[in-house]
Structure 1
Amino acid sequence: MNDTLAQISSYSVYSAIVVLFLALGFYALYLARVARAGEAEVEAAPERELVAAGGTTSSVGTDEPVGTDEPASTGGHVGTDAATQEPARARKAAGIAWTLTLLGTALVVAAVVTRAVEVARWPLGNMYEFAIVGAMFTLLAYVGWSSRRDLRWLGAFVLAPVLAVLGSAVTVWWTEGSALMPSLRSYWIAIHVTVATMTVAVFTLGAVIGALYLLQDKRETSGGGGGRTAFMSRLPSARALERLSYSAHVVAFPMWTFTVIAGAIWARQAWGSYWNWDPKEVWSFVIWVVYAAYLHARATTGWKRQNAMWIALIGFGCVILNFAVVNVFFVGQHSYSGL
């Protein structure tokens, strides 16, 4: 029975990788098509201005300047409703990408559930399990957020890191299901590690949007333009992207605070001390300090929001190091990678 469940879990992960890769391709196609439509509008704009100057039409059809906050609710389409400006082929590509994203998310959930049933425990005992559960939470966060607002423009940028994690899980971090080490056999694994993994998922969304914010801000500062960044004209304004990223970090930071506190309580039960200067503990605290610095800088008058966002991206870099490097190469009481 366990061998069958193990195969189902593995097949689900591999199938999810294929489906999500296709979804990534359709999201990229969507961005390419709306960018092409945007370039066509820019080329046609001078003609509309000449007609308006001649007094034969009103200025109702002119575009709103890039950089306002209004596009945030419509996916970044400047001036008018997004649906009226997107070509039908772009909407079709986005619809296929969304359907594939839902299917891929369901497959990752199935992989996690069957892995949990296979090992008869919470599936967070090694790097492979951390990876697939983290990918699951990231996808669920994106799907849930997308149900509240139009985030089609974000799909490609979320699926890319998810695919990188899933690919690493099946090629580098894969390990057979096994029993937990004695110190991990506690209900705290369902609390501490689950919240930590959920927090990383939200940090991922915040970092992705934050990186897009810096690109969009640079584009707006330089006056926009076409070329390789033409698709950026269909994204929300830089100011709107910064607010979205900040919102994600505001949610994630208290969750990470709880993660650090819960870890200390668990450490007291497992090892007799709240703090042992273990590499994992130290890096978890470093992450907390960096993100606290970001939130402080974001709220401090005189700090540029671009500089504050760079601090947040440094924090996400620490998250990656904590997961992919500290877990594997640093020897300590948290050496549970399974590799």
Structure 2
Amino acid sequence: MMPVNQTYAQFSDTAFVSAYIIYVLALILSLVYYVKQQGIIDAHREQKRVSELVGTGGSADLPDDIADGVLADDDLTQREESARKLANMTQSLMWLGVMVHLVSVVMRALSASRFPFGNLYEYILVVTLFAMIGAVLILQRPQFRVIWPWILTPMLALLFYGGTQLYSDAAPVVPALQSFWFPIHVSSVSIGASIGIVSGIASLLYLLRMWQPKGKEHGFFGAVAKPLPSGKTLDNLAYKTAIWTVPIFGLGIILGAIWAEAAWGRFWGWDPKETVSFITWVLYAGYLHARATAGWRNTNAAWINILALATMIFNLFFINMVVSGLHSYAGLN
């Protein structure tokens, strides 16, 4: 058993903290951009409202109390350009954060000469990395960049919890995890889970947007929903990401069953982790089926996707940390 390289381990920890700080800065910028988008949308709507009141007349024909509340075209263009710069800065910070996050994962792996899946801290580190990589690629389109606060907030919460409550020093894994199937099984499950997180968040935002339709927002939640893309756009995002989640996560379950047969002499034993993972996959598959079935409302299908996300989070924390089973070593080195 090879000794742990403490230099690499410390470098991994430093990169983890650095990535976290970069993500926090990106969250702050994304929130400022979100608020600016709210103001820009209000300004456009006010311009449209006033234009409908006066027909084709210019702003000089408006009463003073109305004209004072309408932004000039140049001012509005300036605000939009300022918001675009914030969005681009957020995207650049996210790319930097992902690269530093990747360095943390790679250094962790090199420090113990194994794949970094030996405990819950490492699992969360890898799942959030895959989720961030998927998000930074998906949210390249300008219309999606307002979604960053909704992605970053739960990811930062996961990273904070993992880094403070679940952290484990780099060390060799227990004998049960020293298998050829270990990195293949866990990596496929991790990738599928990370894409599923993005899909579930998109469905959650879709329901918020359907509750607060464009141009008809009201109250606090209306203000929150105002910058979001259309319901159709969010629904398509959830559906297209779930299309990837189902086969990749399902492949991870199948590979786990093959490994179980080699390690324990049976493909399936209804261990708590196996059972909840299978239920999660069934829910994601059920979402795709409902979403593609005529007669089903997309809002009903979205609830299935959100339930799948909740089940996966339940599996990650409660099953791994509370319930005893054959996968209980996942929280140990």
Short-chain TM bin: 0.7 to 0.9
Alignment of 1:79-94 (within 5 A): 87-94=80-87
- Per-residue CA deviations over 1:127-149 (Å, capped at 9, x if unaligned) read 01001111111111112223466
- Per-residue CA deviations over 1:27-67 (Å, capped at 9, x if unaligned) read 010010011111122222222113435699xxxxxxxxxxx
Q: Equivalent residue for 1:99?
A: 92
Per-residue deviation, 1:17: 1.1
Structure 1 regions of 5+ residues with no counterpart?
57-82
Per-residue deviation, 1:108: 0.7
The equivalent position to 2:331 in structure 1, one of 323, 327, 337, is 337
The alignment partner of 1:306 has SS state of helix
Q: How far apart are the structure 2 equivalents of 1:300 and 1:85?
A: 45
Structure-2 change in CA distance of 1:148 and 1:188 (3 Å): farther
Per-residue deviation, 1:227: 5.3
Structure-2 change in CA distance of 1:228 and 1:85 (3 Å): farther
Are 2:44 and 1:50 equivalent residues in the alignment? no
Alignment of 1:67-146 (within 5 A): 87-146=80-139
The equivalent position to 1:159 in structure 2, one of 143, 152, 162, is 152
Q: Equivalent residue for 1:223?
A: 216
Q: Equivalent residue for 2:279?
A: 286
- Contact 1:293 1:311 (C-alpha < 8 Å) held by counterparts: yes
Structure-2 change in CA distance of 1:87 and 1:294 (3 Å): same
Q: How far apart are the structure 2 equivalents of 1:153 and 1:214?
A: 16
Q: Equivalent residue for 1:246?
A: 239
Are 2:6 and 1:6 equivalent residues in the alignment? no
- Contact 1:209 1:245 (C-alpha < 8 Å) held by counterparts: yes
Q: How far apart are the structure 2 equivalents of 1:226 and 1:100?
A: 32
Counting aligned pairs with the same residue, the percent is 35
Q: Equivalent residue for 1:171?
A: 164
- Per-residue CA deviations over 1:91-149 (Å, capped at 9, x if unaligned) read 22212211211111111101000000001001001101001111111111112223466
Structure 2 regions of 5+ residues with no counterpart?
60-75
Query: 1:30 is aligned with what amino acid?
Result: Y
Query: 1:47 is aligned with what amino acid?
Result: V
The equivalent position to 1:24 in structure 2, one of 27, 30, 33, is 27
Q: How far apart are the structure 2 equivalents of 1:123 and 1:90?
A: 38
The alignment partner of 2:115 has SS state of coil
Q: How far apart are the structure 2 equivalents of 1:10 and 1:176?
A: 10
Structure-2 change in CA distance of 1:85 and 1:297 (3 Å): farther
The alignment partner of 1:87 has SS state of helix
- Per-residue CA deviations over 1:219-238 (Å, capped at 9, x if unaligned) read 11893347553353333210
Q: How far apart are the structure 2 equivalents of 1:234 and 1:292?
A: 30
Q: Equivalent residue for 1:198?
A: 191
Q: So what's the TM-score if we normalise by structure 2?
A: 0.88
Q: CA RMSD for the aligned pairs?
A: 2.2
- Contact 1:39 1:226 (C-alpha < 8 Å) held by counterparts: no
The equivalent position to 1:326 in structure 2, one of 314, 319, 322, is 319
- Kindly tell me the number of residue pairs found equivalent between the two proteins: 313
Between 1 and 2, higher relative CO (CA 8 Å, sep ≥ 6) is seen in 1
Q: How far apart are the structure 2 equivalents of 1:293 and 1:85?
A: 46
Report the more deviating stretch, 147-156 or 194-203: 147-156
Q: How far apart are the structure 1 equivalents of 2:210 and 2:235?
A: 9
Are 2:35 and 1:41 equivalent residues in the alignment? no
- Contact 2:144 2:229 (C-alpha < 8 Å) held by counterparts: no
